[in-house]
Structure 1
Amino acid sequence: MDVTDAHGTVAEGFEPVREAFAANFALLGERGAAVAVYRDGHKVVDLWGGTKDVDGTAPWEAGTAQIVRSATKGVAATALLLLHQRGELDLDAPVGAYWPEFKAAGKEHTLVRHLLAHRAGVPVLDRPLTPEQAADPDLGAEAVAAQAPAWEPGTAHGYHAQTYSWLTGELIRRITGRPVGAWITAEMTRPVGADFWLGLPEEQSARVGRLGPVQAPETVGGLKTRPKRAVAEAYADPESLTRRAFAALTPAPDENAPAYRAAALPASNGIATADGLARLYASLIGEVDGGARLFTPRTMELARAEQSAGPDRVLVVNTRFGLGHMLHGPASPLLSPGSFGHPGRGGALAFADPDSGIAFGYVTNGFRKSVTADARAQALVKAVRTALV
């Protein structure tokens, strides 16, 4: 793609983002994608290009949306922090105070903050759920409530790749009495005007593109793009926590299937536009277009306060988490050490950086076998950093 084929607009000074976006198509195998950036609550980048479907010819349009996989986790964490902000959730209370069944199998001392920060010790299910079972919030909640922890809750951290859906979703449902997707729409995305859905409404389905695999180049800027050997071996070992955590939902769902998109899985199947993600994160650090703000300054600081850091028992790399949001680090480079947000496996990325006033959203239809840092998203983040210098 030539830079002139990147549709949309950039504010003066943010031209490097347009150049990086075009380069992703020319050099990194991008098929269809969008990126949006807000600064101090106002949009400064709004770009899209390529095809709506990874295997199609229809053009990506301004309102095209995609499944964003684990970038959904940041939205689920935001929901729980909002409940804390409103006085409805105590981060230092046992999860069982809100969800009595969760106390089973040695989890009676698991705190809400442990659950948010991937310290609850239940990243795997001894009896994995099928995609059809996973769509039933009752079955998912029963499965994680009955599961014995893989480590003593609170003593270590490991990415809860799939079980985060039922851990967060059921806690929200117990506190609010409402389905998680409906609560997020009513209390978060609709008030700030963000295109994000957890449980895709039928009337929005035509906007959503088809995902598919795309091959990563062997190297980017002289650096290899393949996973480290230890990480690859962990994914290949059926007995590892890594493999079992991602296999808590087995077989792997068809992410393009209407039934999967209509389910509400807060760990993995949120659907959003790039603008929707960026706008939502902009509302966490300030007013958006002079209007709504979701987080108070105190909650914003809470969101980026480190809770977990170091070797991740599931991802087999060093990771950093706040209360649900990933924090800037080698596994997930964001804009600066003060950023908080979440990547989605295979490409998507959303975050806020309070120190610069930046909120960022990127979505793609091209799936890569990466859990955290993706070369395409990182090229765009680097370009934003350049624009701020």
Structure 2
Amino acid sequence: MPALDPLDLYRIADELTDEERMIRESVARFVDSKAMPLIAECFDEGRFPSELVPEIAELGLLGSSLDGYGCAGLNSVSYGLICQELERCDSGLRSFVSVQSSLCMYPIHAFGSEAQKEQWLPRMASGEVIGCFGLTEPHGGSDPANMKTHAKKDGDDWILNGAKMWITNGSIAQIAIVWARTDDGIQGFIVETDSDGFEARDVKAKMSLRASITSELYFDNVRVPDANRLPNVKGLKGPLSCLTQARYGITWGPIGAAQACLAEALRYAEDRELFRRPLSANQAVQLRLADMARRITGAQLMSLRLGRLKDAGEMHPTQVSLAKWNNVRMALDIARECRDLLGGSGITLEYVPIRHMLNLESVITYEGTETIHQLVVGRELTGHNAF
């Protein structure tokens, strides 16, 4: 029988359509030829590789699962594969596309007026306009209902005050999708970042997601026209539905990170000779590598099934929580194992595991911490809300 692909033991690729395979291969070529050669340097310098944005847009990766308005209209599995290949390079690259697509373009597409869609979505799909998503606040991220940012009606405008924290793309964005408390419940606003009273400050000295921009947003009597309010949603349903879209992509992304780490560990274990034999001939090493392949395979099957459910309109948010919890934990554990297998070499950026390991410490925290997703599953199983 032919040998199996070490990164795809269950031949998940056979379950993809021709279009899905073509999309995955196209993004993989971009990652290998354009992103991989510079990502370690960007991580080291704490710099987002903005020079990649035009080609990311040209490939149709921004808002790829949305229909119309210059978007590609791909299915959910294709979007997941895009996230997987981008995060095989770096979580920061996938985060950029995830925020632009799922947290900024999606709410405009789902809850915006026709005028808002026509004004913003084509330019966001082309990369001309970058967005950021303002939900998390400095006093705590796991309880969005305890929101302090507020907007007060003033004639035909709204006056926005407050602050948001841990905002990807904040200082390079032309618009921010900001969720604020109003007298009529929580509502979403498209805030143009050149507005008076708006300020974005980058978070410095990060040890994770260094090739990504993370910002704090401040609103000091920012005047927002009512025409920039998202008219078709009120309450937490709006931001939480955006998070479900983003979390779905995150279930796929860490698979790519884990595959990159396992591939590196396999190469290293074969090339590294200890006690007159390759490291890969050691039983303890093989057990660890086999366990990594087992966990990656389980995550691949979970995300593929989730994508098929999403495309059928049958995906439940709890299923997303289960996959986000499982797959990010899988990838973080594998990155740590691979870092250890590489010995002293594992702490350098010449090899990928330490970078993925540090990035995944953020991925396991954002878009709902591991504990939050465990409690979501627990609530589904028992019927009791333990938050």
Q: Same fold (TM over 0.5)?
A: no
Q: Normalising by structure 1, what TM-score?
A: 0.27
**Looking at CA atoms only, which structure, 1 or 2, has the larger radius of gyration?**
2
Greater length-normalized contact order (CA 8 Å, ≥ 6 residues apart): 1
Q: Normalising by structure 2, what TM-score?
A: 0.28
